[in-house]
Chains A and B, each alone.
Chain A
Amino acid sequence: MSYSDKVLDHYSNPRNVGSMDKASTDVGTGLVGAPECGDVMKLQIKVNRETNVIEDAKFKTFGCGSAIASSSLATEWVKGKTVDEALAIKNMDIVKELSLPPVKIHCSVLAEDAIRAAIGDWKKKQEVASPVAAEAK
Chain B
Amino acid sequence: MSTDVKIPQANTQAHHPDAKGVKLPIYMDNHATTPMDPRVLEEMLPFFMEKFGNSASRNHSFGWAAEEGVETARERIAKLIGATTKEIIFTSGATESDNLAIKGVAEMYREKGNHIITAVTEHKAVLDTCKRLEKYGYRVTYMPVLKDGLIDLDDLKRAMDDKTILVSIMAANNEIGVLQPVAEIGKLCRERGVIFHTDATQYVGKVPTDVNKQNIDLMSISGHKMYGPKGVGALYVRRKNPRVQLSAIIDGGGHERGMRSGTLNVPGIVGLGKACAIAQEDLPQESCRLAGLRNRLRDRIMNRLDESYINGSMEHRLPGNLNISFAYVEGESLLMGINDIAVSSGSACTSATLEPSYVLKALGTGDDLAHSSIRFGIGRFNTEAEVDYVADRVIETVERLRELSPLYEMAKEGINLKDVKWAGEAH
Q: Do they bind each other? A: yes
Interface residues of A (CB under 8 A from B): 3, 8, 11-14, 16-19, 31-42, 58, 60-65, 67-68, 103, 110, 113, 117
A67 to B404, CA, bound (A): 12
Determine whether the beta carbon of B371 is less than 8 Å from that of A38. yes
Cα A19 to Cα B1 with chains together (Å): 6
How many interface residues does chain B have, given as a range? 35 or more
Residues B424 and A37 in contact, CB atoms below 8 Å apart:
yes
In the assembled complex, how far is the CB of residue A115 from the closest CB belonging to chain B, in whole angstroms? 13
Given A14-B5, A35-B417, decide whether A64 and B406 contact each other with a Cβ distance below 8 A.
no
CB pair B5 A32 closer than 8 Å: no
Q: B343-374, CB under 8 A of A: which get 1 and which 0?
A: 00001110000101000000000111001000
Task: Report the Cα distance A74→B336, complex, angstroms.
Answer: 20
On whether the beta carbons of A17 and B404 are closer than 8 Å, the reply is: yes
**Which residue of A has the minimal Cβ distance to B417?**
A35
Q: Are A62 and B407 in contact (CB under 8 A)?
A: yes
A38 engages B330 (CB within 8 Å) = yes
**Are A33 and B404 interface neighbours, CB within 8 A?**
no
B residues with CB within 8 A of A: 1-3, 5-7, 9, 328-333, 336-337, 347-349, 354, 356, 366-368, 371, 403-409, 417, 422-425, 427
Compute how far the CA of A48 lies from the CA of B7 in the bound complex, rounded to whole angstroms. 32
A60 in contact with B422 (CB, 8 Å): no
Q: Is the CB of B405 within 8 A of A3?
A: no
Contacts of A68 in B (CB 8 A): 333, 404
Given A41-B406, A60-B409, list of 7 further CB < 8 A pairs?
A: A31-B406, A34-B422, A34-B423, A35-B422, A38-B347, A60-B404, A62-B329
Complex contacts, A113 vs chain B, CB 8 Å: 423
Q: Which of B2, B354, B417, B427 has the most CB of A within 10 A?
A: B2
How close is A7's CB to chain B, nearest CB, in angstroms? 8
| Neighbour of A11 across the interface among B1, B333, B349, B356, CB < 8 A | B333
Task: Give the residues in chain A near B367, CB-CB below 8 Å.
Answer: 35-38
Residues of B close to A14: CB separation below 8 A? 5, 404
Docked-complex contact B417 and A65, CB < 8 angstroms: no
**Could you pull out 15 A-B pairs where Cβ atoms are within 8 angstroms?**
A11-B333, A13-B7, A16-B2, A19-B1, A19-B409, A36-B368, A38-B356, A40-B406, A42-B409, A60-B405, A62-B405, A63-B349, A65-B336, A67-B330, A113-B423
Give the residues in chain A near B356, CB-CB below 8 Å. 38
Chain A residues with CB below 8 A from B9, complex form: 8, 12
B423 touches A17 (CB 8 A): no
The total of Cβ contacts below 8 Å across the A-B interface reads: 108
Contact of B425 among A8, A36, A38 (CB under 8 A): A36
Q: Which of B328, B332, B348, B423 contacts A117 (CB 8 A)?
A: B423
Residue of A nearest to B403 (CB): A17
Most A Cβ at <10 Å: residue of B330, B331, B367, B406: B406
Cβ-defined partner of B406 (8 Å) among A38, A42, A103, A117: A42
Given contacts A35-B367, A36-B368, whether A58 and B347 have CB atoms under 8 Å apart is: no
Cβ contact within 8 Å between A62 and B328: yes
Q: How far is the CB of A6 from chain B (nearest CB, A)?
A: 13
Q: Which residue of A lies closest to B356 (CB)?
A: A38
Q: Is the CB of B2 within 8 A of A63?
A: no
Distance in angstroms from A107 CB to nearest chain B CB is 9
CB–CB A65/B332 < 8 A: yes
Residues on B with C-beta less than 8 A from A37 are: 348, 367, 424, 427
Q: Which residues of A contact B409 (CB under 8 A)?
A: 19, 42, 60
Residues of B within 8 A of A34 (CB): 422-425
Please measure, in the bound complex, the distance between the C-alpha atom of A67 and the C-alpha atom of B331, giving whole angstroms: 12
Tell me the minimal C-beta distance from A63 to chain B in angstroms. 5
- The distance in angstroms between the C-alpha atoms of A58 and B348, with both chains bound, is 26
Q: How far is the CA of A62 from the CA of B417 in the complex (A)?
A: 13
Which 5 A-B residue pairings sit nearest by Cβ, starting from the closest? A35-B368, A34-B422, A34-B424, A36-B367, A64-B332
B373 to chain A minimum Cβ distance, whole angstroms, is 11
The residues of B that contact A67 with a CB separation of less than 8 Å are 330, 333
- Set of chain A residues within 8 Å of B330, measured between Cβ atoms: 38-39, 62-64, 67
Which residues of A sit under 8 angstroms from B332, Cβ to Cβ? 64-65
Give the contacting residue for B6; candidates A13, A31, A58, A117; CB below 8 A.
A13
- A65-B425 contact given A12-B6, A35-B407, A37-B367, CB 8 Å threshold: no
Taking the closest CB of chain B, its distance from the CB of A16, in whole angstroms, is 7
C-alpha spacing A19/B368, complex, angstroms = 22
Chain A residues near B3: list those with CB within 8 A.
17-18
A72 to chain B, nearest CB (A): 9
**B407 near A33: Cβ-Cβ < 8 Å:** no
Q: Tell me how far the C-beta of B24 lies from the nearest C-beta in chain A, rounded to whole angstroms.
A: 16
**Chain B residues with CB under 8 A of A18:** 1-3
Interface contact B366-A36, CB-CB below 8 Å: yes
